[in-house]
Structure 1
Amino acid sequence: MTFVDNQVALRAGYGIAETGLEVLTVSGPDAPSWLTTLSSQIVADMGAGESREMLFLDAHGRVKFAAGIVWAGEVAWLFTSDASALAQFLESMKFMSRVEVTACLDQQVCGFFAPSLAEEVLAGFGPIWSDPWPGITSGGTAYSPRSAVHPGRDYSACLGVIPGEKTAKVRAELRNRWEQLSWPRETADGYSLSAPVFSAESDWRALRIAAWRPYGTDIDQRTLPHELDWLRTAVHLNKGCYCGQETVARIVNLGHPPRRAVFLHLDGTSSLLPPAGAELYAGSRKVGTVRASANHFEDGPIALGLVKRTAPTGELTVCWQEGEEEHSLAATVTVITDPAGVSWQGQSQIDRKSFSRTPPPADSGSLNIAG
């Protein structure tokens, strides 16, 4: 089957995909309060099976790790891009806390979309994490333009785990269940599915890029959560102190993160895709880098990029080198993070201040400029 078939079946809920993600567990009586203290999210009040997202920042507010979290009883399952590195970081922060951290490297993290029989099958091996993207969760805010319709509005991604030694058995069980349905199946948008699919990571990546969904693999050493519009789902602005909180709050209140995320439609005349780190140019001026790319079943070659806040919003050129060969592609830019650099919460603060301002006396000779 082609990547078109795979992505259509995945999106319709009749397939599972490799995601490239990993999982670790955190347990112990102090785990809820400890994870809340360390991260950008409140997780101490979560119920069993509830899903949230969290970031671990450095002292300057830059993203070190991103993780989806779901509780199974008294055990927190964290889905992340590098379980070993996150586990090592958490171990270094234990001190006297009564917690146990375990990187579950024998578990394969699979992704799927609801409605799907996959949830019923995979739930037998651990909890299912339901991605909150792109909703604005409690305590969050957004950096996308208010007037735009978010392309991820129908993005209903979920993650589950399969023990490595049971992968073949789970695939066989899913195939048997799906094959009991009538095939071919027609999707609501007119595609015909001939069979369920087991897709590669590239198919999963294409769907999440199209939804503007950032992953921990998209960050570099300077990434701030505001730049990727990550405050939608991964940051609670009203929680207690945590590492990096001062930077997060300052940028929300004052605006203007130094960079912003963009969605890129790449020139489809070439079969090449730029790797993470490929450079983005406006004319001869370097303005950013590509963070992830993939071939999408409808949009063709697409990518997420991080550019300077002042970078133009029209077209850019992607440049990279493979061996001794240099490559370049034209890229059309769609705004993800508003170039104005003000969050929805920050804009509301400006609006409230403007509304509450008292005009000067008519004979004062001064002007009242709102904003």
Structure 2
Amino acid sequence: MTTVTTYRSPLLDRLPGAVPADGVDAGVAAHYGDLFREQRALAAGQGFVDLSHRGVVTVSGPERLSWLHLLLTQHVSALPAQQATEALILSPHGHIEHALYLVDDGATTWMHVEPGTAGELVAYLQKMKFFAQVEIADATDAYAVVFAPAGSTPPPAAAVRQLPYGYDLFLPREEFADALAVADSGPTAGIWAYEALRVEAHRPRLGFETDHRTIPHELGWLESAVHLNKGCYRGQETVARVHNLGRPPRRLVFLHLDGSEESLPAHGDPIRLAADGPDGRPVGFVTTAVRHHELGPIALGLVKRNTAVDATLLAGTVAASQDVVVEP
């Protein structure tokens, strides 16, 4: 369960034009006055995104990687230092509970998670510690996460997750605002620009593309966050069974929305077959809808596996065509 926080990033008061985000992303800027300029800058490898509202958890100790290997969906027992990866923690029935974005610096494993979820994650990890030689800490109050796109020059960081599309930086909180203010990092971008590029890249996000019964197969997380040839972990039976049968109940789709509509569908709005009209039976729901600087209004959604891949859909009341993300 996400914990509501009253966090407010210092960049909201220090950078001109900052407009606060709301919902789970409250505490950082939605944008700094020009959404599309901010998106174009990120796409060109310039700027940075303040993700300091996200939770930070660290695990240290000589057995940290072998111990995490037993709990996570990802193979991390021999994870090389500075190699970024992502992993999930599943329920006993294989439903997604946590999504972790992590890197090991040779002494400590650093991970960031959704805002307000670090405490719950730490509580679970502590419960599973037993006699392992590990130290688990909620480092959210000490470290802030910042994203810098590929091509930018990131400021010094305690740890860096280097990704194909950029960097996740773990910066000491007392330094991160000053470090970014003096860094030659280009225009600042808000969370809306970051989310638009995430949707364009079909990257799922916990709490947006997931609900209480989501399994990894539905979102394409098998490719990036699940290792199919490792030992047991909680929920593995479901992962193996659905993978072998090839029949996840739902699938992620990318939606091109009708650009003539002024408003975007909201998270949770029903997706219906356009042929059935606005009163038809829902076949899924909208997960994230954004405005993209090149593609216009776009969205991700979850639909029933047997929904025809060439069907025209209604996302809320907005007409939408679909691109396949997860094969039925």
TM-score, shorter chain, exceeding 0.5: yes
Structural mapping, 1:268-307, within 5 Å: 268-282=259-273, 283=276, 284-307=280-303
- TM-score w.r.t. the length of structure 1 is 0.73
Cα deviation 1:111-157 (Å, max 9, x = unaligned): 12211112xx1xx33211133xxxxxxxxxxxxxxxxxxxxxxx613
1:62 corresponds to: 95
Moved more, 164-173 or 202-211: 164-173
Query: Counterparts of 1:6 and 1:234 in 2: how far apart (Å)?
Result: 28
Structure 1 spans left out of the alignment, 5+ residues = 132-154, 179-195, 320-327, 340-371
For residue 213 of structure 1, give the secondary structure of its aligned residue in structure 2.
coil
For residue 243 of structure 2, give the secondary structure of its aligned residue in structure 1.
helix
Q: Does 2:48 correspond to 1:16? A: yes
Cα deviation 1:84-116 (Å, max 9, x = unaligned): 222222122222222222122233321122111
Find 1:329's aligned residue among 295, 318, 321.
318
Q: Computing the radius of gyration over CA atoms, which structure comes out larger, 1 or 2?
A: 1
Q: Please report how far the alpha carbon of residue 79 of structure 1 lies from its aligned counterpart in structure 2 after TM superposition.
A: 1.9
Find 2:128's aligned residue among 87, 93, 115.
93
Query: Counterparts of 1:269 and 1:126 in 2: how far apart (Å)?
Result: 46
Find 2:147's aligned residue among 102, 111, 122.
111
1:212 corresponds to: 202
Structural mapping, 1:81-160, within 5 Å: 81=114, 82-106=117-141, 107-118=143-154, 121=155, 124-131=156-163, 156-160=165-169
- TM-score w.r.t. the length of structure 2 is 0.82
Query: Counterparts of 2:166 and 2:300 in 1: how far apart (Å)?
Result: 18
AA matched with 1:129: R
Cα deviation 1:170-222 (Å, max 9, x = unaligned): 22221xx35xxxxxxxxxxxxxxxxx211111110100110101122321111
Q: Structure 1 residues 272 and 109, CA, compared in 2 at 3 Å: closer, same or farther?
A: farther
Query: Counterparts of 1:257 and 1:333 in 2: how far apart (Å)?
Result: 18
Q: Structure 1 residues 287 and 318, CA, compared in 2 at 3 Å: closer, same or farther?
A: same
Find 1:311's aligned residue among 286, 291, 307.
307
AA matched with 2:205: Y
After the TM superposition, list the runs of 4 or more consecutive aligned residues in structure 1 that deviate by more than 4 angstroms. none
1:171 corresponds to: 180
Structure 2 spans left out of the alignment, 5+ residues = 1-32
User: For the aligned residues, what is the CA RMSD?
Assistant: 1.7
Query: Counterparts of 2:177 and 2:64 in 1: how far apart (Å)?
Result: 34
For residue 86 of structure 1, give the secondary structure of its aligned residue in structure 2.
helix
